[in-house]
Amino acid sequence: MEVPARTAQALMGAQSMAQGGGSGCLERNDWICGEYLRTRSQELLDATLQHVGITVVSVVLGLLIAFPLALLARHRRGVAGPVLGLTTVLYTVPSLAMFALLTPVFGVSPSVVVTGLVLYSLTILVRNVLAGLDAVPAEVREAARGMGYGPARLLLEVELPLALPALVAGVRIATVSTVAMTTIGSVVGYGGLGNLIASGMEGFFKAEVLTASVLCVLLALVADLLLLGLQRLLTPWTRARSAGRRTRRGATVAKAVG
């Protein structure tokens, strides 16, 4: 993970050099070109926003579909096998074929890419939601029932919070793979940064390809860190447990209050 960061630094370095020296790195078709960053910043921004948009919509939709599916699979064990089997089969289909098969359904539109990515994310999300809910200790569930919790309240207030780490782990994996796979959407013209990679390839434009690729990896990294942060925020008790000692836990609480 150091490499992209270093490349980004190099990019910035090249930019400042280009500003000072005014060398024609675009004419020389260098891999790293500050002039490219400056003159095409709007194009880069648009592509990045499209990339982020497609990824967010896909993962959110995936989660909205995966959650009821996992609940259904949990309550009717007969459904679990077919649901997991079907999502695994979908996962085996290569993305280029998936987008190609969806094109006649939706026409050339962002729906093709989003639908394909949602189908892929289901495999990871359904598994992780199921694993998370299964990992809730039976005693905890019993205790909550004994305290008079109904099924809905049990799910929302006890099981869901306890399943959250596994759930977020699944969302992180799904998000990172979705960011990478969005690039293939360029076959229908909705691939975010993938569009720039594709046009860079056609025009043999090295700076465009490298910049878009680096941005794509950075995007995946940032998304992963943001989700990790969100998990820490939502499950403060896991942090307290990993901090270990009671004295330190007390200190954390005091700090949080202050």
Partner 1 sequence: MSVDAITGAWQWLGTAANWAGEKGVWHRLGEHLWLSGICLVLSCLIALPVALWLGHIGKGGALAINISNVGRAVPTFAVLVLLTLSPLGSHGDWPTVIALVLFAVPPLLTNVYLGIREADRDVVEAARGMGMSGPQLLRRVEIPLAYPLIMTGLRSAAVQVVATATLAALAGGGGLGRIITAGFGNYDTAQVVAGAVLVAVLALLVEGVLVVVDRAFDPMRGRRRGPSGKTPAPAPAPAGARPEPSRST
Half-sphere exposure of 36 (CA within 13 A, CB side): 23
Of 184-213, binders to partner 1 (CB under 8 A) are 184, 186-188, 194, 197-198, 200-201, 204, 206, 209-210, 212-213
Q: Which stretch binds partner 1 (CB under 8 A): 39-47, 122-130, 232-240, 249-257?
A: 122-130
Q: How many CB atoms lie within 10 A of CB 186?
A: 21
Q: Does 59 bind partner 1 (CB under 8 A)?
A: no
Closest separation in Å from C-beta 93 to partner 1: 5
Q: How many CB atoms lie within 10 A of CB 225?
A: 11
Whole-number Å distance between alpha carbons of 188 and 55? 16
Closest separation in Å from C-beta 49 to partner 1: 17
Dihedral, CA atoms, 115, 84, 173, 239, nearest 10 degrees? Answer: 130
Tokens 């390839």 sit on residue = 201
Q: How many CB atoms lie within 10 A of CB 68?
A: 11
Contacts of 37 (CB under 8 A, 6+ apart): 11, 15, 44, 211
Q: Does 92 bind partner 1 (CB under 8 A)?
A: yes
x-marked contacts with partner 1 along 16-55 as a string, rule CB under 8 A: ----------------------------------------
Binding site for partner 1 (CB under 8 A): 1, 88-89, 91-98, 100-101, 103-105, 120, 123-124, 127, 131, 135, 166, 169-170, 173, 176-177, 179-181, 183-184, 186-188, 194, 197-198, 200-201, 204, 206, 209-210, 212-213, 216-217, 220-221, 224
